Amino acid sequence: MEEGNGNKVKNGFKISMQYTVTFISGENIHNIKHNDSNIELIVGENVLPKQLENTITDMIEGERKIMIFPPINHKTRYTLKEKFPLNSWLVFDIKIISIIK
C-alpha cells in the first residue's frame, strides 16, 4: 500500500488508474500493470463493481490499495465474468494515478 498526496476521488470525477485483479490464490485474471499503462474512467457510472467504486471514492491521488472482495454480483458494463466464476474471491491491487479535470 502507498499513501497518496493529492485530491480525494469523488463520484463523477474522471480518473486515471492502474490495477491488477487476481483470484485469492494469486492466479492473475486481469492486469493493467503498475507503471506500464493506465485506464481512464468516470467514477460512479457503474463501470466497476459497486464495492470497488465505493473503495475508489475513499482514495486520493497517488494512493495504492490492495482489497479482497468476497463473491459479488459482477453485473456491470465493465465485466470480467467470462474470466472467472461469480462465486470467486477476488484481490484488487489499485493505484489512483490522477484525477483528470
pLDDT tens track for 8-29: 999 999 999 998 888 888 888 7
The mean pLDDT value for 1-6 works out to 83
Secondary structure (3-state) at 51:
helix
Domains and CATH numbers, the chain: 14-100 (3.10.50.40)
pLDDT given for residue 76 in this prediction: 47
CA atoms within 13 A on the CB side of 59: 28
- pTM (whole model) above 0.85: no
The mean pLDDT value for 84-101 works out to 84
Question: Phi and psi dihedrals of 53, rounded to 5?
Answer: -60, -40
Q: What are the CA-CA distances from residue 85 to residues 17, 28, 56 (Å)? A: 25, 14, 23
pLDDT given for residue 34 in this prediction: 54
Q: What percent of the chain has pLDDT over 70?
A: 80
